[in-house]
């Protein structure tokens, strides 16, 4: 299977795409629907428990001394991106189906990535410590801010009901808090067992399979055309190019060093597939979310390819690390 390493696509995303295809071609039916739904609910809870066990609030608070850097990154993640999402909704509404349009807005509301933001910042010889703090803070805050922004900006598409609030509390917030509280006993184990990433990724793949299987049962693909998919890809690429340019330009205009500007660009432009897909399964429970996931999947792959190229270019700059 060494040929997989040569593919110009993230292997995790490849697994997600395979799950989407399998869910479309071989959707679960009958009793299996309840089994997959129950397994998905449990997997999402376990996923957010592991998030809580991994993220150190003490390290995050200690690193907040460079507050201008972190405020700038969080402003890009939770202010600039949502505003762009509203702009996209206003402009592209005539060309995209409601599901794809909702998915485009939703991708602008999810947290930044953790692993890839830090990795690219390190490769580019940027401010790695700042990237660690900002990416971690983005994910901690995202557990609260993403649902709130969805209810605010996607009114009518995300139900603000008692059952929806309970689902978020039980599947997202409670496991995350329990993970944080368990850190004295679990943090070292979680950090020393990289194989636990398979639990993370397996749960996300399961979410994707369940979503696309449900979409196939409900005739999801009859609601979208090839032209809409092409428009979606074009919008995601244009959005990525815009945020990459704006984050770098503004960081330099605000007087940040090159190292800080690199951290701002890589952390402030990322959107997390790992957090976004499970959150969507909870926030849009009962709705066909297969198409809603597509914008985030497209943007995620595009951001990995673009940031990998930028990181290598920055790493070749002549100044000292």
| Separation between Cα atoms, residue 169 and residue 167, nearest integer Å | 5
Domain segments of the chain: what residues?
7-314
Helix ranges (DSSP H) in 96-253? 98-107, 115-123, 128-153, 162-168, 174-181, 183-192, 197-217, 226-253
Query: Phi and psi dihedrals of 155, rounded to 5?
Result: -55, 130
Q: Mean pLDDT by 10-residue block, N- to C-terminus, for the chain (321 residues)?
A: 51 75 81 79 78 68 71 93 91 84 91 80 82 80 86 71 65 78 84 72 75 71 81 93 95 91 92 81 74 84 84 78 43
User: Per CATH, is 7-314 categorized as 1.20.1530.20?
Assistant: yes
Q: Are the C-beta atoms of 159 and 93 separated by less than 8 Å?
A: no
Alpha carbon distances (Å) from 196 to 129, 150, 178, 224, 304: 24, 29, 17, 36, 22
Instruction: For Cα atoms 26, 27, 33, give the angle at the middle one, nearest 5 degrees.
Output: 145
> Which helix (H) or strand (E) is 59 found in, with range?
helix 57-62
DSSP string covering 134-174, please? HHHHHHHHHHHHHHHHHHHHSBTTB---HHHHHHHIIIIIH
Q: Are the C-beta atoms of 52 and 136 separated by less than 8 Å?
A: no
**Residue 309 exposure: Cα atoms within 13 Å on the Cβ side:** 8
Say what the pTM is.
Answer: 0.75
Q: How far is CA 104 from the centre of its chain?
A: 12
Burial bucket for residue 85 (CB in 10 Å: 0-12, 13-18, 19+): buried
Q: Which of 314, 320, 319, 316 has its CA nearest to residue 265?
A: 314
Q: Are the C-beta atoms of 15 and 205 separated by less than 8 Å?
A: yes
Q: Which of 38, 116, 84, 150 has its CA nearest to residue 310?
A: 116
pLDDT value of position 157: 64
pLDDT value of position 3: 44
Q: Are the C-beta atoms of 137 and 111 separated by less than 8 Å?
A: no
């Amino acid at each position: 299977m060494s040929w997989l390493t040569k593919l110009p696509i993230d292997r995790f995303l490849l697994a997600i795409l395979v799950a989407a295809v399998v869910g479309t071609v071989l959707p679960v039916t009958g009793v299996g629907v309840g089994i997959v739904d129950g397994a998905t609910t449990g997997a999402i809870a376990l996923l957010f428990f592991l998030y809580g066990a991994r993220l150190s609030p003490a390290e995050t608070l200690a690193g907040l001394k460079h507050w201008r850097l972190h405020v700038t990154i969080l402003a890009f993640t939770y202010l600039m991106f949502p505003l762009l999402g509203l702009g996209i909704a206003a402009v592209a509404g005539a060309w995209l189906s409601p599901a794809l349009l909702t998915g485009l807005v939703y991708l602008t509301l999810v947290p930044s990535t953790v692993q890839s933001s830090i990795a690219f910042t390190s490769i580019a010889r940027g401010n790695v410590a700042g990237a660690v703090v900002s990416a971690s803070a983005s994910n901690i805050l995202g557990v609260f801010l993403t649902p709130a922004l969805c209810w605010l900006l996607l009114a009518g598409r995300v139900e603000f009901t008692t059952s929806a609030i309970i689902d978020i509390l039980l599947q997202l917030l409670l496991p995350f808090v329990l993970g944080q509280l368990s850190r004295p006993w679990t943090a070292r184990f979680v950090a020393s067992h990289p194989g636990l990433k398979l639990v993370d990724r397996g749960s996300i793949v399961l979410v994707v399979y369940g979503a696309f299987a449900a979409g196939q049962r409900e005739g999801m693909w009859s609601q979208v055309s090839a032209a809409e998919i092409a428009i979606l890809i074009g919008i995601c690429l244009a959005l990525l190019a815009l945020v990459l340019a704006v984050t770098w330009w503004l960081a330099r205009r605000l007087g940040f060093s090159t190292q800080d500007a690199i951290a701002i660009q890589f952390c402030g432009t990322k959107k997390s597939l790992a957090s976004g897909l499970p959150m969507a399964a909870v926030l849009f429970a009962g709705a066909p979310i297969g198409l809603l996931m597509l914008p985030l999947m497209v943007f995620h792959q595009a951001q990995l390819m673009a940031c990998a190229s930028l990181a290598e270019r920055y790493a070749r700059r002549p100044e000292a690390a």
